[in-house]
Amino acid sequence: MEKTNLGDHMKEYKERIHSKTYKANTDLSLYSAGIEQCKCEYTYGPIVRSYYVMHFVFSGKGQLTINEHSFDVKTGDIFLIPANKVATYQADKNHPWKYGWVNFLGINAEQYFYSLTKDTHDQYIIHNVAVNQYYKQIERLLDLSFNTDAEYFESNSILLHIFAMLYEELNIHFNNNVKYSLAEEIRLYLDLNYQYNLKMSEIADKFGIHANYMTRLFHQKFDISPKQYLLSIKLKKAAGLLQSTNLPVSTIAASVGFIDALAFSKKFSKTYHCSPTQYRKQTDEKKN
């Protein structure tokens, strides 16, 4: 294990007793944690990591960019960065943020990660969180300093406690011990991959079944076809982005898996009875 102190601005803890390969084959393991007070316009990235990243913003604000899609982040927010995606984040020029982070990986890390994002308006941002309680947990990790197996277990117990706190605060119900039916596994796959241009035939092939059988199975379980369910997720996420960002409609369309922005606008208008631009305007008017 390694503890790094880079002056007053940044402190970091890395678990080094076990290899990244070992941790990747556990259920969930801590990779590193830290706290940093950033300088004005301090930028980190662009970078691609092989593990999942979770930042808690304790003060100030900044901007997160993932695969060219940008999100404004402020005090009380958590911003999440998936593994294997290009990410850059920059502190505000007037009110630079102070944040803490925990990085993790494991066999079920992806499921745990995306369970945190499922009901968020911004795809990778969780707003209005009681972040100070997580500050205390990260400080506990920074207090670990010796190369002992006991502290390996202690560091992972703190990581699990952070997840337990988040699940309770966000009212997440995710039971990994439940054996999923095939229909539920397909729904989970759609929940995790809605941002891509998915084809029903390709999804059916992934699960080793015919597309017609998949549709019938899914409809029997959820009273909606997988194609309709996927569209509903895309439009719900798009509506959230229209409400909370100033991203162009074409960018939002691409971020939820639409190749054609015009096709996106038609689907959105049919569901919400107004164009994406009108929806954003109505939302802004309600805020004012």
* pLDDT value at residue 30: 94
The whole-angstrom separation of Cα 193 and Cα 220 is 22
Q: Which pair of tokens denotes residue 138?
A: 């990260």
Q: Name all domains of the chain by residue range, CATH numbers in brackets.
A: 2-169 (2.60.120.10), 182-287 (1.10.10.60)
User: Which pLDDT tens digit goes with each residue over 114-162?
Assistant: 888 776 677 789 999 999 999 999 999 999 876 678 888 999 999 999 9
Question: Which range (5-14, 85-94, 113-122, 249-258) has the least confidence?
Answer: 5-14
Q: Which two tokens stand for residue 246?
A: 């100033």
Contacts of 175 (CB under 8 A, 6+ apart): none
pLDDT band at residue 39 using 50, 70 and 90 as cut-offs: very high
Whether residue 281 has pLDDT greater than 50: yes
- Is 81 within 8 Å of 52 (Cβ atoms)? yes
Q: Tokens for 35?
A: 């706290």
Q: Is the per-residue pLDDT at 76 higher than 90?
A: yes
Answer whether 97's CB lies under 8 Å from 62's CB: yes
- Across the chain, what does the average pLDDT equal? 87
pTM for this one?
A: 0.62
Q: Cα angle vertex 259, ends 195, 226, to 5°?
A: 50
Q: What is the pLDDT of residues 228-261, one digit of tens each?
A: 999 999 999 898 888 888 889 999 999 899 989 9
pLDDT exceeds 50 at position 6: no
